[in-house]
Structures are given as C-alpha cells and as structure tokens.
C-alpha cells in the first residue's frame, strides 16, 4: 500500500475510427490539469486514458481502407499517442481494448454476470445507430432518427445477450440521492433520474453480426457489444480480472470519470449497474462536461466539422491551446470554438497580462538592480492587496480544482497577474528609480512582483506545463521551485533574474484572420 493519498482519474477511451480532434483534446487536457494538480499536492495519481477499438464502425472503416481492423487501429492509435505527447498529456497508463489483458478481464466479467443471472440470452429488435454505436427503442427515437446525432437508424433483429440494467433502477436512484456528488454537473443528474424513471430497459450487450469484438467465451458466435467492453477498461487497466497489473486495490474506486455529456448515461447508469452486479465499489464522481461547438453544432468526427489540434498546437503553441480550452469554456457547459476567440485569449491573457508582467518585471530587476533583488523588511499599504491575493491563491485554486470549476481556477491566477500589472502602474517603479532615496522601496516593489509571478507560476504549472518552468527560469529559479509547498507569499528570499524570450508573442489579429481565411479557401 502507498503511504500517499491516491487519486484515480480517467478520460473516456476514444474510438480510433479517425484521428482525434480538439474535442477529445479538451477532455484530455482537463484531466491532465487535474492530474498534475493532484500530483503537485502530493497525491499518488493514476491518470488513465486509452482507445476503444472494437465495433461495427471500426470494422467498416478498416474494410473501406482495405486493411484488417487491427492494422487500422494500430495506425490511428500511434497518432493518438503522438497527439498526447505533443499536448504534454501526463497520462500514467494507456489502455487499448485490443490488449490481451483487457480482453481477458472482459471475458471474465461477462461470464460472471451470465453465470449469476445478470446477463441472459434474448432476441433484440430495435434500431441501431452505427456512428453512435447505440441501440434505441421506438420511443427513444426523435422523428424516427437517432436521438443523439439525428441520423438514420436501421432496424436490427438478432439473438443477443442482455444485461439486467432494469433490475438496478431503484439502487441507482438511491445512489444518486445518497451521493449528491456522484453525477455532475447537478443539472445532468435530473436528466439521468428522468431517464431511469421513464422505465429502465435491459441493455443489449452482444452482437452476432459484428465480428470485430471480444468473443463471448461461452457462445463465441457473439461478440461483446462495445459498452461492456469499453466501460470495463476502468478496472481492467488496474488489473481486475487479469495478471498484467496489480493496482486495483490501490486505486479503485475511481475518484473521477471525466466524460462528455453524451456518454454520461452509460457512465452513470450502465456502469454503476454493472459494478453493483459485480459487487464492486462505485466510482466517487462522474462529470459530464459540455461540447465544443463549431458553427452552432457539436464538433464531431462523423459530422466532419472538426478542428485538428496538431495544426493549432503547431501554429500557436501547446500551452496557448491548453489555456484556451481550459479558460474559455465554462466547465460543464457547451462553448463555441472560434479562431477569433482563441487569438483574443492568447493576446489579452497570455501575451499582454502574463507575458508583459514577466518581461517588465525581469527587465526592471535587470535595469535597476543588475538582476538581483532581495526581500525588504516592511510593506506599505499599497502592497497589501497584491500580497493578500497572492497568499490566498493556493486555497482558491485548490477549491476550484476540487469543485471542477477549472476556468475559475485560471481566472483566480490571472486576477493576481492583472493585479500585479496594476501594481506596476500604481507604484511606478520608473519614477521611484529617479531618486536614490527610493532605492529600497524600488527593490521592495520588484520583490513583490517577483513573488506574485513565482506563486502564479507554481500554480500555472498544472495548466501550462511548459510555460511555468520558463517563468521560473526567467525568475532565476529551477524546476524544484514548482512546488505547492512553496506557494506561500514571502517564501523566496531573493531573485537573480535572467531575461528570456517573450512567453507568448502577440498575434496580429487582422493578419492572422486573413491568413486563416486563405488557408480555409485552399482547403475547399
Ligand atoms: O464515446 N466537445 O468515444 P469518442 C467536447 N469510445 N468533447 C468532445 C467532443 C466535443 N465536440 N467530441 C468528443 C466514445 N469529445 C467511447 C467512449 S468510454 C468507456 C467509451 C470527447 O471517440 C468527450 O469526452 O466518440 C466525449 O465524451 C468523447 O470525446 C467521445 O469520444
């Protein structure tokens, strides 16, 4: 057993049916920030992500490409791993549902549920939406179409195994009532309760027509229907039902399953019902965040209105994209992705507020003190607000991260940065520098600015992991300074700064928008 507190956080495992887009990056970057923050707090973190590789859609895509499904997913999975490397995603484990150990766990889970009567054989008649990999009943269709994506569904009749989800309806409702944090945001909880109350149907958990899936061990003409396979990843990745890992007892139950709102139902109904049937502890929290929208609609691979995160990161820098995703969209709601909003955020928050504060502070330390400033005894009234805000920052950011109000955490950090910029205007160091008698006061002002930057830099590390070390470097500190234990105001006695490159170059908005339009035209 570890002596540290543990924290287990998961992203959805994404379909490698195509390259991932910025919507997938959104979930993953949010989990990464949470995982990094918990690690900074001293938690023993398990951050799991991966790919959900079985099912009809991938079988079809591979056939179209003239390769085997495994060859098809291998290629895409390589791009997924490259993307997470590019975006500084600090996952601890990457699970592929085609990994042997995962398939072994799924087969054990399926067999156990069958043997104890929670899975039974029946006949499936209903409607199937291929892009969503979902079965729907008549009453669930909207205008005869898939209620998730609005596309055509087709009639499906086949022998199939079913999981007795319906049996768990009352226990699920009780779970939500007794654990108000289990489903978040709160508004989504009511949708789940309404879904259960309208009559919870058993879930079809196998197919005979899909060959690309994990065989049902006692009836191999069936393959497992993707959601049982997919959801089991959260425990198979820890070693439940396999010998590959031995971390189930250390990390389960998960502290947080982070998912997009469209798959919250699977995570808050089917998954806990499966775990109840298996007599296993339930995850502590499931958060269904909102969607990144493009031109009013959900950005999605199957609609084709996607933004490629690699292009964005190459053009604007990884931390700029991470910042935009985490800051711009109220966590839990939908938010529009527009180039204008991205460029404005980069310019106003990163280049102007943060970048300028650092470069102005470092330049003044060099100009007036040859680069080295010390803590000076005594503070003036004007220093107090900056000092108080900075001192309170760790507590506020911690609370925001616990509450999953991630954009607010960034707002708090940037409030300190903005306050520090205002402090420069108020204290006017260039005016103080004119009179030798003010030398000590000038040093004090610059020290306060360095302290605000240092504390902001420590906390920014969870969100902007390549910018925080650059900030420290310019403040003359090394990576060991990035430690929440040192986030107290006044903890650093002196600074010897080194001017470096601008953290975020300002973008010429008009030129950039014209360039993007041109690129768009070329692609058409
Ligand atoms: O659903 N905005 O995989 P998937 C925000 N394999 N987030 C988005 C998004 C958007 N426009 N588009 C995608 C699956 N996402 C299953 C999951 S889990 C056991 C199995 C993110 O490739 C969001 O997290 O369709 C969403 O839930 C997920 O990608 C869906 O990824």
Dump pLDDT digits (tens) for 160-210: 999 999 999 999 999 999 999 999 999 999 999 999 999 999 999 999 988
* C-beta separation of 69 from 58 below 8 A: yes
Smallest CA separation from ligand 1 atom 14, residue: 14
Higher-pLDDT residue of 230 and 138 is 230
Residue 373 Cα to ligand 1 middle (Å): 49
Ligand 1 pocket member 230 (CB < 6 A): yes
Residue 51 token pair: 């790919």
Ligand 1 pocket member 27 (CB < 6 A): yes
Ligand 1: which of 26, 149, 300 to mutate, most ligand atoms within 8 Å of CB? 26
Ligand 1 pocket member 163 (CB < 6 A): no
* C-beta separation of 189 from 178 below 8 A: no
Task: Please state, in angstroms and rounded to a whole number, the distance separating the CA atoms of residues 13 and 369.
Answer: 53
Burial string for 405-422 (b: 16+ CB within 10 Å, else e) reads bbbbbbbbbbebbbbbbe
**Nearest atom within ligand 1 for CA of residue 263:** 27
424-426-429 Cα angle (round to 5) = 50
User: Among 170, 165, 162, 148, which residue's Cα sits nearest to residue 201?
Assistant: 165
Other beta carbons less than 10 A from residue 277's beta carbon: 20
Radius of gyration, alpha carbons of the chain: 26
**Nearest atom within ligand 1 for CA of residue 12:** 18
Ligand 1 pocket member 14 (CB < 6 A): yes
Q: Which own/partner pairs from 484-491 qualify as long-range (CB within 8 Å, at least 24 positions apart)? A: 484/40, 484/41, 484/394, 484/458, 484/459, 486/458, 487/393, 487/394, 487/455, 487/458, 487/459, 488/391, 488/394, 488/455, 489/387, 489/390, 489/391, 489/451, 489/455, 490/375, 490/451
**Nearest atom within ligand 1 for CA of residue 16:** 22
Segment 485-493 mean pLDDT: 94
Task: Please state, in angstroms and rounded to a whole number, the distance separating the CA atoms of residues 50 and 65.
Answer: 23
Task: Please state, in angstroms and rounded to a whole number, the distance separating the CA atoms of residues 339 and 333.
Answer: 19
Ligand 1 pocket member 231 (CB < 6 A): yes
Residue 523 token pair: 């692609």
Ligand 1 pocket member 12 (CB < 6 A): yes
Ligand 1: which of 57, 84, 260 to mutate, most ligand atoms within 8 Å of CB? 260
Residue 1 binned pLDDT confidence (cut-offs 50, 70, 90): very low
What's the confidence (pLDDT) of residue 133?
Answer: 73
CA dihedral 108, 129, 69, 31 (to 10 degrees): -70
Residue 521 has pLDDT above 50, yes or no: yes
Ligand 1 pocket member 337 (CB < 6 A): no
Task: Please state, in angstroms and rounded to a whole number, the distance separating the CA atoms of residues 343 and 286.
Answer: 32
For 121-152, write each residue's pLDDT tens digit: 998 888 988 887 777 888 889 999 998 889 99
* C-beta separation of 268 from 126 below 8 A: no
Other beta carbons less than 10 A from residue 290's beta carbon: 18
Ligand 1 pocket member 265 (CB < 6 A): no
What's the confidence (pLDDT) of residue 196?
Answer: 96
411-416-419 Cα angle (round to 5) = 115
Ligand 1 pocket member 291 (CB < 6 A): yes
Which of the 8 DSSP states describes residue 353? I
What count of residues does the chain have? 524
Tokens 């300002």 label which residue? 506
Smallest CA separation from ligand 1 atom 26, residue: 260
Ligand 1 pocket member 307 (CB < 6 A): no
Mean pLDDT across the chain, nearest whole number?
94
Ligand 1: which of 14, 17, 274 to mutate, most ligand atoms within 8 Å of CB? 14
DSSP H/E element including 155: strand 154-163
* C-beta separation of 464 from 323 below 8 A: yes
Smallest CA separation from ligand 1 atom 2, residue: 291
Residue 2 binned pLDDT confidence (cut-offs 50, 70, 90): very low
For 420-476, write each residue's pLDDT tens digit: 999 999 999 999 999 999 999 999 999 999 999 999 999 999 999 999 999 999 999
Ligand 1 pocket member 13 (CB < 6 A): yes
């Amino acid at each position: 057993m570890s002596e540290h507190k543990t924290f287990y956080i998961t992203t959805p495992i994404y379909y490698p049916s195509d390259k991932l887009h910025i919507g997938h990056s959104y979930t993953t970057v949010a989990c990464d920030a949470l995982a990094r923050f918990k690690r900074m707090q001293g938690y023993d973190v398990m951050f799991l992500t991966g790919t959900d590789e079985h099912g009809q859609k991938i079988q079809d895509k591979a056939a179209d490409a003239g390769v085997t499904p495994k060859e098809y997913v291998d290629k895409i999975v390589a791009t997924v791993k490259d993307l997470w490397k590019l975006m500084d995603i600090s996952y601890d484990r990457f699970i592929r549902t085609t990994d042997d150990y995962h398939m072994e766990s799924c087969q054990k889970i399926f067999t156990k549920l069958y043997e104890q009567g929670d899975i039974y054989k029946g006949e499936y008649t209903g409607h199937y939406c291929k892009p969503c990999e979902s079965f729907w009943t008549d009453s669930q269709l909207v205008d005869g179409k898939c209620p998730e994506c609005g596309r055509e569904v087709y009639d499906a009749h086949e022998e199939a195994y079913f999981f007795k989800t319906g049996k768990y309806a009352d226990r699920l409702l009780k779970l939500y009532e007794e654990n108000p944090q289990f489903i978040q945001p709160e508004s989504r909880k009511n949708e789940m309760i309404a879904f259960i109350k309208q009559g919870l149907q058993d879930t079809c958990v196998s197919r005979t027509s899909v060959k690309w899936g994990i065989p049902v061990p006692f009836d191999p003409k069936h393959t497992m229907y993707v959601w049982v396979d997919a959801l089991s990843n959260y425990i198979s990745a820890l070693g439940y039902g396999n010998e590959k890992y031995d971390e189930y007892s250390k990390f389960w139950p998960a502290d947080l399953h982070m998912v997009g709102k469209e798959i919250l139902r699977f995570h808050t109904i089917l998954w806990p019902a499966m775990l109840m049937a298996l007599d296993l502890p339930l995850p502590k929290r499931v958060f269904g965040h909102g969607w990144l929208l493009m031109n009013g609609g959900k950005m999605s691979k199957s609609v084709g209105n996607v933004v490629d995160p690699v292009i964005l990161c190459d053009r604007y820098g990884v931390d700029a994209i991470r910042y935009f995703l985490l800051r711009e969209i109220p966590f839990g709601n939908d938010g529009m992705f527009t180039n204008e909003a991205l460029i404005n955020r980069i310019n106003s928050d990163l280049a102007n507020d943060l970048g300028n504060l650092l470069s102005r502070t470092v330049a003044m330390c060099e100009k007036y003190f040859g680069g080295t400033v010390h803590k000076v005894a005594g503070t003036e009234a004007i220093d107090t607000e900056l000092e108080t805000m900075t001192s309170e920052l760790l507590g506020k950011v911690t609370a925001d991260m616990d509450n999953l109000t991630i954009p607010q955490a960034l707002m708090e950090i940037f409030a300190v940065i903005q306050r520090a910029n205002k402090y420069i205007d108020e204290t006017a160091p260039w005016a103080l520098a004119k009179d030798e008698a003010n030398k000590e006061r000038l040093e004090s002002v610059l020290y306060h600015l360095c302290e605000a930057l240092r504390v902001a830099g420590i906390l920014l590390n969870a969100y902007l992991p390549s910018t925080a070390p650059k900030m420290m470097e310019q403040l003359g500190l090394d990576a060991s300074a990035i430690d929440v234990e040192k986030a107290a105001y006044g903890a650093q006695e002196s600074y010897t700064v080194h001017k470096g490159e601008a953290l975020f170059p300002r973008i010429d908005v008009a030129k950039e928008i014209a360039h993007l339009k041109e690129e768009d035209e070329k692609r058409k």
